[in-house]
Structure 1
Amino acid sequence: MDGGGIAISGRQLSTHAKLVLPLQHPQRSLHAQRGHDTRRQALASPPEAEPLVASTSGQDNRRAVGEEIRSDFPILHQMVHGDKQLIYFDNGATSQKPKQVLEALRAYNEGYNANVHRGVHYLAAKATSAFEEAREKIARLVNARSSREIVFTSNGTAALNLVAHSWGRSNLRPGDEVIVSVAEHHSNIVPWQMTCQATGATLRVVPLTKDTQEVDMQAFKDMLSEKTKIVALVYVSNMLGSVLDTDYIAEETRKVGAKLLLDCSQAVPNMPLDVQSLGADWIAATGHKFCGPTGIGFLWGRSEVLEQMPPYLGGGEMIEHVYLDHSTYAPPPSRFEPGTPPIAEAIGMGAAADYISDLGLENIHSYEQEMGGYLYEKLSAVPGLTIYGPPPEKRGSPLCSFNVEGVHATDLSTFLDFEGIAVRSGHHCTQPLHHHLGINASARASPYIYNTKGEVDTFVDELRSVLKFLK
């Protein structure tokens, strides 16, 4: 190390100073606005707040990505298996957290750990303010009309389940149809199977095109009818990397009067999203795939749709009044957030939203298109290797899922790990898709904003060495 930088694989990485600004005074929470006296009192005379790491979201200057931001991610600067420099290519499963997110988590746990929307004391007011500020950050990230359209959930799976079990079970009837695709993550298949079994609705599955392995748009259009009540599709596939033509999907879905739900867990980290123009009624995403903590995700829904949905779970916080024989429920988003929420995780996810916003989602998408194309090109040159999904220009994520003839994906991943390279192996929670492709498992390399072409080169070199050994 010299000059204040960190040397990784012979390259000098710059360090970045944190911008520290005082946290704004807590504002009245959503619950306080509903007229809960204790919550109004907690936020009416906010105490002076201590400095916290603040966002520079909205500024025109965008930071570079790749090597330039690696110093923000402490976990990347380590040796594994003794003397192997870690190369982390498992971002499709979970991304790493920058110092800014780690600091936000530390600040809450060490400085103002308290429950939200309840107490009248200093810590409760500060926690409530930070928690609701995080909701506003997520709303800005996806360009929601209001933070009230953002429901915090435990992850993307919980967000998808919320729609399936709340809207689905109250709206679907025998003879109705739900459309998914064969490329869906299990979290967008299993809840709809359960809902269809409970309601008598029918689950229909759109196949893929044979050439590029994308959702077959003609088959989708042919499947639509007046029986279709909801279309639930993945925006960016976590196995194929393919990106959905949402304009076409939304237009055709509206023609039959159906609702549209998009699984955006792989989209939010990699590209700009504008829910006001997307044409969907809901999107679901998880925080840990865009540099946030685990255990937190969100559902965005059109306010008029959320208002019509009944609660999914019952308990405290999601109510207006509780009597012994009945209860009345709070408006969204509180209606769908019973009990003590994941407070630290929501604040951390808000910090992650700030982080990728400061980098610029267009900037991130451009870099990942370049990285994905480079990875695809290098892997394509490996003899006997098959990459699944469309070519790079049709992908919304830089990930590549692949197999090598005569080598099991798990063996391949295990030996790569011995060289310090972390990739995923298995079915990636897409068993139906793997069955459709005629395979039991695949290996997946999924770089992200802090990975470099140099790491791709090292990965492919080690892959060739491992294949030579295994064969």
Structure 2
Amino acid sequence: MGLNIQEIRSDFPVLAEKVYGKPLVYFDNAATTQKPVSVIQAEADVYNHYNSNVHRGVHHLSNVCTQAFEDVRKKVASFIHAASSDEIIFTKGTTDSVNLLAGSLGDTLFSVGDEVILSEMEHHSNIVPWQLLQKRKGIEIKVIPVTDEGELDLDAFEKLFSAKTKLVSVTHISNVLGTINPIEKIIETAHKHGVPVVIDGAQAVHHLPIDVQKLDCDFYVFSGHKMYGPTGVGVLYGKRKWLEIMEPYQGGGEMIDKVSFSGTTFNDIPYKFEAGTPNFAGVIALGAAIDYLQEKGLSKLWEYEHSLFEYAVEKLKTVPNIHFIGKAKARTSVISFLIGTAHPFDVGTLLDKLGFALRTGHHCAQPLMDRFGIPGTVRASFAFYNTKEEIDRLVQALGQIEGMLG
């Protein structure tokens, strides 16, 4: 496939670590991905060579840092095919982006009794902000059900719309089921009703090529740390027509035009949504992560990751008493499962002692756990630095654990 996986693995220092004397197998990539040396170095270079607050100085360091910061805004716009870098807002992450929308769109669009449509498979970060808006403004939340296979019920979705529906906000890829949702169809349906759409791309932007103009989504949000970048930085893409009419979510420096005690006018987009000193070092390192993905070739990485996923599904089927949660036709590199009647925490604890990093619990998706009537799952999630040999080790370890817990 044109990828040298061992060479790629050498770019990620943490993969050489040992856990309890055993080589680390990192299968918790849906929670956060590891960082290549180039990303780590990019952030260190900021602090070592040109650390200075952006947009606020005429001196050399400030100009260099500002240019690097704004270059990444252009890089992100190109990466997701936005019409303009003005449509790219830097945030703390996906959660912060959704909260910004719930706060700002909440004031712009919603009145008492208006409705937002979510799905049953949403991460808490795309549920709780809308519930807070529900408390503030008396809106209603409607929910797209999930089928037994782990797919959204699009017939039911169509029936949720009413004259009061003001927004649809759904995940691109489920962080629990790995389901790739048909967001093109979802966006088309919503727009037919004149309703804008928010897409949570936290689990998608580093797997699939994203073209926000082709998708025609109104907003697309994602996090740096899910795509081999630093923590504490994320992106909110929004169509200009919406960003222009939205009120600022936070007040402070940078987002203003003029301030006086008689009133304040706000900066142009995107700056009116970026109050305070930004995480400029993180943003610049995010740019390095995008460079890394593009250098390796996103389509090649996706092809390899999907081959790992298919290999893992077939191999895991051989584990006695394994039960998969979610069997959608379109899935990516996330597998959630249970072993017999064993609690996911017990399975995860034993795996940890054998050197495996997997996620256990409800994965910030408790309504989805309730839908399937389970307390949680064991989740293995793959990245392009994982190998089939690591999957073989996992299958062997689960066979041992099943014997112990069965």
Secondary structure at 1:137 match in 2: helix
Hey, what's the Cα distance between the residues in 1 that align with 2:75 and 2:327? 33
Pick the aligned partner of 2:340 from 405, 408, 415: 405
Give the Å deviation of 1:318: 0.2
Say which SS state the counterpart of residue 363 (structure 1) adopts: helix
Alignment of 1:367-382 (within 5 A): 367-382=304-319
CA–CA distance in structure 2, aligned partners of residues 411 and 90 of structure 1: 17
Does the alignment pair 1:428 with 2:367? no
Please report how far the alpha carbon of residue 115 of structure 1 lies from its aligned counterpart in structure 2 after TM superposition.
0.6
Kindly provide the amino acid, as one letter, of the partner of residue 94 in structure 1.
T
SS in 2 for 1:72: coil
Residue identity in the other structure for 1:366: E
Task: Look up the SS of the partner of 1:362 in the other structure.
Answer: helix
Q: Verify the 8 A CA contact 2:116 2:140 in the aligned structure 1.
A: yes
Query: Using the alignment, how far apart are the partners of 2:346 and 2:198 within structure 1?
Result: 37
Establish whether residue 194 from structure 1 lines up as the match of residue 129 from structure 2. Answer: no
Q: Which amino acid aligns with 1:373?
A: E
Pairing 1:394–2:330 present? yes
TM alignment of 1:59-208, pairs within 5 A = 64=3, 66-81=5-20, 83-208=21-146
Give the letter for the 1:302 counterpart.
K
Query: Which of residues 381, 389, 393 is equivalent to 1:458?
Result: 393
Matched, 1:213 2:150: yes
Q: Deviations over 1:208-265 (max 9, x none)?
A: 112x111111100111222211000000000010011112111110111101000000
TM-score by length of 1: 0.84
Q: Secondary structure at the match of 2:394?
A: helix
- Amino acid in the other structure paired with 1:205: V
- Cα deviation, 1:256-313, whole Å, max 9, x if unaligned, reads 1101000000001111100011121001100000000000001001111111110000
Identity among equivalent positions (%) equals 44
Q: Secondary structure at the match of 2:251?
A: coil
Which digits, 9 at most, give the CA deviation of each residue in 1:173-217, with x for residues without a partner? 12211000110000000001111221222100111112x111111
Q: Does 1:288 align with 2:288?
A: no
Q: Distance in 1 between matches of 2:57 and 2:113?
A: 48
Structure 1 contact 65–450 (Cα < 8 Å) conserved: no
**1:183-262 correspondence runs (5 A):** 183-210=121-148, 212-262=149-199
The unaligned stretches of length 5 or more in structure 1 are: 1-61
The one-letter code matched in structure 1 to 2:49 is: G
Q: Tell me, in whole angstroms, the C-alpha distance in 2 between the residues paired with 1:470 and 1:437.
A: 22
> Cα distance, 1:63 vs. partner?
5.9
Residue 65 (structure 1) shift: 5.9
For the residue of structure 1 that corresponds to 2:265, the secondary structure is: strand
The SS at the match of 2:10 is helix
The question of whether the paired residues in 1 share the 8 Å contact of 2:108 and 2:245 is answered with no
Q: 1:283 to 1:421 in 2, by over 3 A?
A: same
Please say if residues 160 and 284 of structure 1, whose CA atoms lie closer than 8 Å, have aligned partners that are also in contact: yes
Give the C-alpha shift of residue 319 in structure 1.
Answer: 0.2
**TM-score by structure 2 length?**
0.98
Residues 438 and 445 from structure 1, CA distance in 2 versus in 1: closer, same or farther, beyond 3 angstroms? Answer: same
Q: Say whether the 8 Å CA contact 2:68–2:284 is kept in structure 1.
A: yes
Q: CA deviation at 1:470?
A: 2.5
Give, in whole Å, the separation in 2 of the partners of 1:170 and 1:327: 18
In structure 2, runs of 5+ residues without a counterpart are none
* Structure 2 counterpart of 1:385: 322
Letter of the aligned partner of 2:6 in structure 1?
E
Work out the CA distance in 2 between the residues paired with 1:76 and 1:120: 42
Matches of 2:5 and 2:239 in 1, distance apart?
A: 35
Q: Which runs of 4+ in 1 moved over 6 A?
A: none
- Structure with the bigger RCO (C-alpha within 8 Å, sep 6+) is 2
Instruction: State the distance in 1 between where 2:8 and 2:257 align.
Output: 46
Range 223-232 or range 418-427, more displaced: 223-232
- CA shift for structure 1 position 68: 3.8
**Cα–Cα, structure 1 residues 91 and 115, in superposed 2: closer, same or farther, change >3 Å?**
same
Question: Which letter does structure 1 place at the counterpart of 2:11?
Answer: D
Paired letter, 1:188? N
- After superposition, what is the alpha-carbon deviation per residue over 1:315-359, rounded to whole angstroms, capped at 9, x for unaligned? 000000001121000111100000000011101111111111222
Residue pair 2:107, 2:247 contacting (<8 A) in 1 also: no
Amino acid in structure 2 at the alignment position of 1:80: V
Cα shift readout 1:139-175 (whole Å, capped 9, x = no counterpart): 1110111111110000110001111110122211122
- Aligned partners of 2:172 and 2:181 also within 8 Å: yes
Matches within 5 A, 1:31-50: none
